A and B are shown apart, each in its own frame.
Chain A
């Protein structure tokens, strides 16, 4: 365990299409909701972390005077890294109460910072000239290699989206809630072979915020604390073509086991799993790189409904980036769902869930952060 707990957690009041709010307003809306959840105000915050917007902007906008700041930005899992860095800051006394915020006008594009790669970056020099058009095309490289190496079928890939829609159907906040079949997925528009529309994440507006403090202060807050049992992080490469192994993420393989080892949990202890699903193959990589399945076995594991409602390893229980929401940096929403499951307040609550593993990915397979949450300290 780490000695740190989540004592406040909230998403923006609205998710999906929120054209009336700029990106910084989405940050602030999430932060204010988290303050209310934790029974505190901005003046109680002395540690601040964010990605996608500058921490300086947030400190100014929210009226926070931080003694600790983290602007680590490695893509959609940045918030997992913020949690880990906040743990280190809290246990060494650099601050007492940390706010981590995310806000992204991914769909409406209101007040959004620029996206894209500088021409002189590694990706700009060595990948962009050959024409990849963002994540849907870049992610075809690893998934096609995986399909050839392990014989994963198109139907098996499609099943990931089917199962997650089943979870989303239980969640009134999910963007898409109607049940779908494998045929529906395979008949949806082909985006970039082998990905069909329903195997690609949503593009939505929203935000989320977390408030962290030391365990020994957690009892002073109104919510049931969710304990951070372990954390891990790593990065691999900004260029997807340069992955050590296109069938596995090195960053997953470093971050995941580090988090589980610090938490002192075995695979059989894990009641609930979140694996950031920007595209349908990511949960497959996550299950294997975390060690829940052997290499090549995750497609069957998902096909056999082990991660579906009623299965032995409920995964992406909010509906995931494929069906719940995906603003661009989805990691915050995966963290929020783990916290809800540990509080016992999730729309599709896993009964008696006591340990949740939350694995994030960033910049295609460029980065990863993993957090293990628990309802108890051991």
Chain B
């Protein structure tokens, strides 16, 4: 799926392909909440 990675430097070095992620949901409006991802915290 297409999404964006949050809480991570937006550089090729930090945005490592196949890195472990976890989902975070962000409320965009009263009706719409979208799934984004951030680097996984803790144990994989």
Contact = CB atoms under 8 A, between A and B. Distances in A.
Give the interface SS of chain B, mostly helix, strand, loop or mixed. loop
A130 B17 contact: no
B18 A130 contact: no
B12 A127 contact: no
B10 to A, nearest CB: 10
Interface string B1-27: 111100000001000011000000000
Interface in A159-212: 193-194
Given A145-B17, A241-B1, A129 B12 contact: no
Nearest to B16: A148
Contacts of B18: 148
B1 A144 contact: no
Given A145-B17, A148-B18, A193 B2 contact: no
Nearest to A239: B2
A127 B18 CA distance: 19
Contact of B12 (A126, A145, A193, A240): A193
B44 interface: no
Contact of A241 (B2, B12, B17, B28): B2
Contacts of B2: 126-127, 130, 132, 141, 239-241
A93 interface: no
A145 B12 CA distance: 13
B3 A130 contact: yes
Contacts of A241: 1-2
State which size class the interface on B falls in: under 10
State which size class the interface on A falls in: 10 to 19
B12 A130 contact: no
A284 B17 CA distance: 21
Nearest to B35: A130
Contact of A126 (B1, B4, B17): B1
A130 B28 CA distance: 12
A239 B3 CA distance: 12
Contacts of B28: 129
Nearest to B1: A241
Interface of B: 1-4, 12, 17-18, 28, 34
Given A127-B2, A130-B3, 6 more contacts: A130-B4, A144-B17, A145-B17, A148-B17, A148-B18, A241-B2
